[in-house]
Amino acid sequence: MERLTLPPGGAAAVDEYLEYRRIVGEDDGGKLFTPEEYEEYKRKVLPMRLQNRLLVSWRSPTGVDCKLVGPETLCFCTHRYKQHKTDFEAIPQQRPISLPCRVTGCPCRAYLYVPLNGAQPVRCRCKHFADQHSAAPGFTCNACSKCSGFHSCFTCACGQPAYAHDTVVETKQERLAQGKPVGRDVPYAAMGGLTGFSSLAEGYMRLDDSGIGAPSIELLDSPIAATDHPFLRVFQASSSSSPETLTDVGTSSQVSSLSKPEEDDMAFFERRYQERHLCSFLTLLKI
Ligand SMILES: [Zn+2]
Ligand SMILES: [Zn+2]
Ligand SMILES: [Zn+2]
Ligand SMILES: [Zn+2]
Ligand SMILES: [Zn+2]
């Protein structure tokens, strides 16, 4: 049996890489940033991401968020949420806020969630699947001429038809005003509506206790160590680690991690969260 051996520090380097990927998303265009570029990217993007985060959910007419969209959640255009524009230097004034797809040639103008029927795409009333329709505004069917635009009668677990739901893009303040959870501020790209560990569960079974809670004094007073969240370390003296350390690691173990299914979003988030409450850095920044 083939055995994967990592050089000393190899596991940490893989971890570092996954962290890098969560933060940078697709913004490096597939070519790893140099350590300098990475630091520069974090300095420029993270404050903006924390201030201007947009939360995305798929909302039932009853007001329940039946789906909280995460980085890997597919759009009607078949691309993932993280492939859409999600970082804004200034939050757009107009509503609804449209998050266009960034994949070259994709006509998608605004992220649109479509539920799945198990692992299957749902059908339109024209009988064709969602992904047989054009992602351009109008959402007409590519497989027939009688379709006047995608319309799914699929019944969501909340009891309402899919077509009665809306993909909602809103700011933290807008969610807070409705008493909806916003979770903690995170430095990761395209977090969408993920606010807590149960965010990927369907709305009706989610017990969301992910609102902002005050971290403990002990936690806030503890010194920042090398094992801490990179966001904390950004504001420390320049970090000794860099994404380039990865070159010593066999890539075979990383490939599967890079194409993680949606369910792993929260597993990753939870692990990071348990290392340290992510909101604590905000307090640290003010010191
Ligand atoms: Zn697209
Ligand atoms: Zn799209
Ligand atoms: Zn159709
Ligand atoms: Zn059709
Ligand atoms: Zn629903």
- What are 126-138's pLDDT values in tens digits? 999 999 999 999 9
Q: What pLDDT shows up at residue 198?
A: 52
pLDDT value for 10:
75
Distance 237 CA to ligand 5 centre (A): 47
Read off the pLDDT band of 239 (50, 70, 90): very low
In the structure, ligand 1 is a single-atom ion and the residues with CB under 5 Å from it are: 77, 79, 101, 103, 106, 108
Nearest ligand to residue 151 Cα: 3
d(CA 110, CA 171): 16
Whole-number Å distance, alpha carbon 3 to ligand 1 midpoint, is 38
Most confident of 26-30, 161-165, 175-179, 231-235: 161-165
User: At residue 227, does pLDDT exceed 60?
Assistant: no
Token pair in block for residue 255: 């490939």
101 CA from centroid of ligand 1 (Å):
5
Closest-lying ligand to the alpha carbon of 206?
5
Interval between CA 179 and ligand 3 midpoint (Å)? 36
What does the pLDDT read at residue 244?
40
